[in-house]
Amino acid sequence: MPTPNVERDETWRPAGVPVSSTMRIEASGKVANVARESLDTIDRVHGVGFSSHITIPVVAGGSSTRPGGFEFYHGGRPVHIELSSRSATPHIDFTHEVGHFLDHQLIGSPGDYASRSGDAVLSGWKTAVEATAAYQRLSDLAGMKRARVAQSNGGYRYVPVDRIYARYLLRPQELFARSYAQFIAVESGNINLINELATLRKTREGAIRYPAQWADKDFAAIREELLRGMMEMKWLK
């Protein structure tokens, strides 16, 4: 049965060829089902504005701690997208890896992350991301040794900050993949993506919150810049 979607005022539609035309699902079971549903959802949000000669496999791989991955050779040629059947948020994780693939292969120069190289089409996106409260909080955490965390009894304690993790979250390609996955969730209204996004935005009591995903208001400018960039690349019309 198709996954229900939240209604939205559709003022644009996908252009070019479907994103799914660049993928070949070689996995089976849960991973294949998640990949098919996610690609169908992405195809209803945007296309790629040209016929791509790239077709990469989607395979099962990873673990609960590494739920997905986009692999490529040293020279930049893509290898595959992988997804773990043990992922707690599989639709978001798969869509995140699709974001990496698009960033690396179909935006800017193939074989380099456009988000990292500073491609002009993502300049507005970069400015919008860096202006968000989530980005500023991650930047603060990346420079802190300890952070104050509220406790259930009403008090506070200081907890060591995982600065390596905070810096990882600040990598341009990771920012792009996370923002792309959230964009697809918001624009499609796919209930699985929406619920998984809510899971990722939850705060665990007594622990430092690393805001990997954005609050709705914080995300608004990023959404507009991703729409603008996709229009410019003729992924939307």
Q: DSSP string covering 186-204, please?
A: HHH-BHHHHHHHHHHTPPP
Q: What is the pTM of this model?
A: 0.93
CB within 8 Å of 32: residues ≥ 6 apart: 25, 58
Q: What is the pLDDT of residue 10?
A: 58
The answer to whether residues 61 and 28 touch, using CB atoms and an 8 Å cutoff, is no
pLDDT for residue 6: 38
- Condensed to tens digits (0 to 9), the pLDDT of residues 116-173 reads 999 999 999 999 999 999 999 999 999 999 999 988 777 889 999 999 999 999 999 9
Residue 87 is predicted with a pLDDT of 95
Sign of CA dihedral 136, 137, 143, 148: positive
